[in-house]
Amino acid sequence: MDYETIIERIVKSTGIDRKLLTSKIEDKIKELDKLVSKEGAAHIIANELGVSLIDSDASQDYVNIKNLVGGLRNVIVMGRVVDIYPINSFQKEGKESQVAALSISDGTGFVRIVFWEDSIPVFKNIKEGDIIKVINAYVKENKFGKLELHISYRTKVRINPEDIDPKSIPSASKVQRQSERIDLIELKRDMNIKVLGVVVNVFKKNCFFNVCPDCGKSVKLDEGIYMCKEHGRIEPNKKLFVSFVLDDGTNNVRCTSFGRDAEELLGISTKEAVDLADSHEDSSYPIEHVTERVLGKEVIVYGRTSFNDFSNTVEVITNKLISNINFENELAVIFNEVQYGDKD
């Protein structure tokens, strides 16, 4: 759904003034440090205003994985199962509960789906390679800043449904090839990419944002109290993030990494970063502390590109960052691309 369609849907549903709505969207982009597109911010505002952007015809209105936004509810996603993780048991209120997860891809991206207690029997019937259709799930950020789909009591999971042509969902190997290595000079919006480059700049700024310890959603201080819309008054956790410039010799691009990716790049844990910031009373000090050893570091970045309307440039949100590179493997990949022409 494009930006104008979202605006029209919100205005029609709420009667809100268009200028006020646009202002709310711009404020949301600033609140999230310009890390979301206009469409993404509009989705969030729609959710906050109680406006569903999902049509009632569940068989038609799928959401592409690349368009998922934290906070969305009643979404319908379909994709091929590419990874299945072990079932984990844990204690909750004196009772043993279970949680399980798998990852799917629809060709536009990957998303992890989390199954809780009552949905574990369904999870056990799913195999790698199956196509699943998930109806009425909700989207949330996990503690590492990655989006996940969560199964609720209202969610229906269809395994290999007859109304979906298996050929319409690419195989896992094909999706991985869509994230092949590219030169940054080729960079465009809405691409799944793999880039090998050198870190040439790290932005020295506040490297934390506050999140609810229960749901992982971003929270802000309001009159001296941190409030989560879902869990009320909370004591927030800090989540680490870093923005940097990657250069591969053909061009450069601004990248943003969260959670584990940020820790991988900076070479410190979130706890170590928090301790450094607290001891120096400076939320940007952890970046300053490690900048010298980060600059010049060679990394491989997997991610998704998006267009930043403020800077008028394409940027990358990473979903995997590797600093310990196996150069023999990378040279073998490049050799195969040159010899066999695998690279488009």
Q: Which two tokens stand for residue 285?
A: 């000090």
pLDDT, greater one: 144 or 32: 32
- Whether residue 259 is predicted with pLDDT greater than 90 in this model: the reply is no
Both 131 and 204 in a single domain? no
Both 184 and 318 in a single domain? yes
The confidence band for 57, taking pLDDT boundaries of 50, 70 and 90, is very low
The confidence band for 117, taking pLDDT boundaries of 50, 70 and 90, is confident
Predicted pLDDT of residue 237: 87
Both 220 and 277 in a single domain? yes
Mean pLDDT across 277-288: 95
Both 231 and 315 in a single domain? yes
- 162-181 pLDDT per residue, tens: 877 877 777 655 554 455 56
Q: What percent of the chain has pLDDT over 70?
A: 85
Residue 135 DSSP class: E
0.85 exceeded by pTM: no
Q: Which two tokens stand for residue 67?
A: 């368009």
Burial class for 295, CB neighbours closer than 10 Å (0-12, 13-18, 19+) = middle
Classify the C-alpha dihedral 117-119-125-127 as positive or negative: negative
CB 172 within 8 A of CB 82: yes
Give me the CATH number covering residue 155.
2.40.50.140
- 310-328 pLDDT per residue, tens: 788 899 988 788 898 876 7
Both 98 and 231 in a single domain? no
- What range defines the domain where residue 13 resides? 1-53
Both 168 and 190 in a single domain? no
Burial class for 79, CB neighbours closer than 10 Å (0-12, 13-18, 19+) = buried
- Whether residue 39 is predicted with pLDDT greater than 90 in this model: the reply is no
Residue 147 in domain: yes
What does the DSSP assignment read for 213-262?
TTT--B--EETTEEEETTTEE--PEEEEEEEEEEE-SS-EEEEEEEHHHH
Both 212 and 283 in a single domain? yes
Which range (62-71, 232-241, 242-251) has the least confidence?
A: 62-71
Q: How many domains does the chain have?
A: 3
- Whether residue 279 is predicted with pLDDT greater than 90 in this model: the reply is yes
Residue 167 in domain: yes
Last residue of a domain, one of 176, 210, 241: 176
CB 267 within 8 A of CB 277: no
Mean pLDDT across 42-46: 83
Both 18 and 144 in a single domain? no
Mean pLDDT across 16-28: 90
Predicted pLDDT of residue 329: 65
Both 157 and 231 in a single domain? no
Residue 106 in domain: yes
Rounded mean pLDDT of the chain? 82
Both 304 and 219 in a single domain? yes
Mean pLDDT across 139-153: 80
Residue 102 in domain: yes
Residue 15 φ then ψ, to 5°: 75, 10
- CA 57 – CA 54 distance, rounded (Å): 8
CB 170 within 8 A of CB 107: yes
Both 186 and 324 in a single domain? yes
Predicted pLDDT of residue 169: 78
Predicted pLDDT of residue 163: 77
Predicted pLDDT of residue 2: 73
Mean pLDDT across 102-114: 85
